[in-house]
Amino acid sequence: MSMEQRIIVACKNPQCAYMISLPYSIPLEKTEFQPPMPMEIFPLRVVCPKCEHWYAYSAVEAEWSVFPILSQREDKLCPTSWILEVACEAPQCESLTRWHIRDDEGLASTDAALRLFHAKPQVVCEVGHPLLGTTRLRAIHPNSLRPRSE
Ligand SMILES: [Zn+2]
Ligand SMILES: [Zn+2]
Protein backbone atom coordinates (compact mmCIF):
# COMPACT_ATOMS: atom_id res chain seq x y z
CA MET A 1 0.00 0.00 0.00
CA SER A 2 1.38 3.42 -0.84
CA MET A 3 1.88 5.82 2.00
CA GLU A 4 1.84 9.55 2.50
CA GLN A 5 3.05 12.03 5.08
CA ARG A 6 0.26 14.05 6.60
CA ILE A 7 0.39 17.00 9.01
CA ILE A 8 -1.03 16.27 12.46
CA VAL A 9 -1.45 18.18 15.73
CA ALA A 10 -2.20 16.89 19.23
CA CYS A 11 -5.24 18.60 20.81
CA LYS A 12 -3.94 21.11 23.38
CA ASN A 13 -6.74 20.31 25.84
CA PRO A 14 -4.73 18.34 28.47
CA GLN A 15 -7.81 16.17 29.19
CA CYS A 16 -7.99 15.19 25.53
CA ALA A 17 -4.67 15.24 23.59
CA TYR A 18 -6.42 13.63 20.61
CA MET A 19 -4.22 13.39 17.47
CA ILE A 20 -5.97 15.37 14.73
CA SER A 21 -4.89 14.72 11.14
CA LEU A 22 -5.12 17.69 8.78
CA PRO A 23 -5.77 17.87 5.04
CA TYR A 24 -2.15 18.62 4.10
CA SER A 25 -0.17 15.70 2.70
CA ILE A 26 2.73 14.65 0.50
CA PRO A 27 3.17 11.12 -0.99
CA LEU A 28 5.94 9.33 0.91
CA GLU A 29 7.94 8.29 -2.17
CA LYS A 30 8.49 11.96 -3.03
CA THR A 31 10.26 12.67 0.20
CA GLU A 32 12.35 10.26 2.25
CA PHE A 33 12.96 12.77 5.00
CA GLN A 34 10.61 14.96 6.96
CA PRO A 35 9.51 17.65 4.53
CA PRO A 36 9.64 21.27 5.73
CA MET A 37 6.45 22.61 7.29
CA PRO A 38 4.49 24.79 4.82
CA MET A 39 4.66 27.98 6.92
CA GLU A 40 1.77 29.70 5.09
CA ILE A 41 -0.82 27.45 6.82
CA PHE A 42 0.10 28.71 10.33
CA PRO A 43 -1.33 29.63 12.73
CA LEU A 44 -3.58 26.60 12.18
CA ARG A 45 -6.99 26.98 13.84
CA VAL A 46 -8.35 23.53 14.56
CA VAL A 47 -11.56 22.39 16.28
CA CYS A 48 -10.96 19.06 18.04
CA PRO A 49 -13.46 16.40 16.86
CA LYS A 50 -13.33 14.70 20.29
CA CYS A 51 -13.61 17.47 22.90
CA GLU A 52 -14.85 20.32 20.62
CA HIS A 53 -12.25 22.76 21.96
CA TRP A 54 -10.44 24.92 19.43
CA TYR A 55 -6.84 26.06 19.59
CA ALA A 56 -4.43 27.87 17.28
CA TYR A 57 -1.34 25.78 16.55
CA SER A 58 2.08 27.07 15.50
CA ALA A 59 4.49 25.22 13.19
CA VAL A 60 6.47 23.80 16.14
CA GLU A 61 3.28 22.21 17.46
CA ALA A 62 2.58 20.37 14.19
CA GLU A 63 4.38 17.32 12.84
CA TRP A 64 4.42 14.99 9.86
CA SER A 65 3.10 11.48 10.35
CA VAL A 66 2.88 8.56 7.91
CA PHE A 67 -0.53 7.27 6.79
CA PRO A 68 -1.70 4.88 4.05
CA ILE A 69 -2.98 6.64 0.92
CA LEU A 70 -6.61 5.72 0.49
CA SER A 71 -8.32 5.14 -2.83
CA GLN A 72 -10.83 7.75 -4.02
CA ARG A 73 -13.65 5.51 -2.80
CA GLU A 74 -12.13 4.86 0.63
CA ASP A 75 -11.26 8.52 0.93
CA LYS A 76 -14.97 9.36 0.79
CA LEU A 77 -15.67 7.00 3.70
CA CYS A 78 -12.77 8.18 5.81
CA PRO A 79 -12.00 11.26 7.85
CA THR A 80 -11.28 14.38 5.92
CA SER A 81 -11.62 18.04 6.87
CA TRP A 82 -13.65 21.07 6.18
CA ILE A 83 -11.79 24.34 5.96
CA LEU A 84 -14.04 27.26 6.81
CA GLU A 85 -12.89 30.78 5.98
CA VAL A 86 -14.68 33.34 8.12
CA ALA A 87 -14.50 37.10 7.59
CA CYS A 88 -15.02 39.10 10.78
CA GLU A 89 -18.22 41.16 10.79
CA ALA A 90 -17.04 43.78 13.31
CA PRO A 91 -16.85 47.30 11.81
CA GLN A 92 -13.45 48.15 10.31
CA CYS A 93 -12.09 44.67 11.00
CA GLU A 94 -10.44 43.00 8.02
CA SER A 95 -9.65 39.71 9.75
CA LEU A 96 -10.15 36.56 7.66
CA THR A 97 -9.48 33.36 9.61
CA ARG A 98 -9.34 29.73 8.39
CA TRP A 99 -10.72 26.96 10.57
CA HIS A 100 -10.18 23.20 10.27
CA ILE A 101 -13.11 20.95 11.17
CA ARG A 102 -12.47 17.21 10.97
CA ASP A 103 -15.27 15.37 9.17
CA ASP A 104 -15.64 11.64 9.84
CA GLU A 105 -19.29 11.52 8.85
CA GLY A 106 -19.77 13.33 5.54
CA LEU A 107 -21.03 16.56 7.11
CA ALA A 108 -22.82 19.20 5.05
CA SER A 109 -21.08 22.58 5.03
CA THR A 110 -23.87 23.99 7.23
CA ASP A 111 -23.21 21.26 9.83
CA ALA A 112 -19.48 21.98 9.69
CA ALA A 113 -20.30 25.67 10.31
CA LEU A 114 -22.52 24.72 13.29
CA ARG A 115 -19.64 22.71 14.72
CA LEU A 116 -17.40 25.75 14.36
CA PHE A 117 -19.82 28.18 16.01
CA HIS A 118 -20.47 25.70 18.87
CA ALA A 119 -16.75 25.13 19.52
CA LYS A 120 -15.38 25.90 22.99
CA PRO A 121 -14.59 28.66 23.79
CA GLN A 122 -16.42 31.03 21.40
CA VAL A 123 -14.39 31.32 18.16
CA VAL A 124 -12.83 34.75 17.62
CA CYS A 125 -11.11 36.66 14.81
CA GLU A 126 -7.38 37.50 14.84
CA VAL A 127 -7.93 40.49 17.14
CA GLY A 128 -10.49 38.80 19.39
CA HIS A 129 -13.93 39.79 18.03
CA PRO A 130 -16.44 36.94 18.48
CA LEU A 131 -17.35 35.24 15.19
CA LEU A 132 -21.08 34.69 15.26
CA GLY A 133 -22.55 34.86 11.79
CA THR A 134 -22.34 32.50 8.86
CA THR A 135 -22.99 35.24 6.30
CA ARG A 136 -19.33 35.80 5.44
CA LEU A 137 -18.18 32.21 5.41
CA ARG A 138 -16.60 30.15 2.63
CA ALA A 139 -16.37 26.35 2.96
CA ILE A 140 -13.69 24.26 1.26
CA HIS A 141 -13.83 20.46 1.40
CA PRO A 142 -10.59 19.04 0.07
CA ASN A 143 -9.86 15.33 -0.02
CA SER A 144 -6.30 16.46 0.35
CA LEU A 145 -4.45 19.73 -0.10
CA ARG A 146 -0.86 19.81 -1.28
CA PRO A 147 1.27 22.31 0.58
CA ARG A 148 2.32 25.14 -1.72
CA SER A 149 6.01 24.41 -1.07
CA GLU A 150 5.79 21.08 -2.94
ZN1 LIG B 1 -9.58 17.57 22.09
ZN1 LIG C 1 -12.46 41.16 13.98
Distance 47 CA to ligand 1 centre (A): 8
Element (H, E) at 110: helix 109-117
Give tens-digit pLDDT for 88-102.
999 999 999 999 998
Beta strand segments in 77-143, E: 80-87, 96-103, 137-140
Q: Work out the number of other CB atoms within 10 angstroms of the CB of residue 44.
A: 20
DSSP 80: E
The ligand whose atoms approach the alpha carbon of 17 most closely is 1
User: What is the pLDDT confidence band of residue 126, given thresholds at 50, 70 and 90?
Assistant: very high
Distance 134 CA to ligand 2 centre (A): 14
pTM for the full predicted model: 0.84
Distance 10 CA to ligand 1 centre (A): 8
SS3 57: strand
Domain ranges of the chain: 3-140
Give tens-digit pLDDT for 39-69.
999 999 999 999 999 999 999 999 999 888 7
Distance 85 CA to ligand 2 centre (A): 13
Distance 34 CA to ligand 2 centre (A): 36
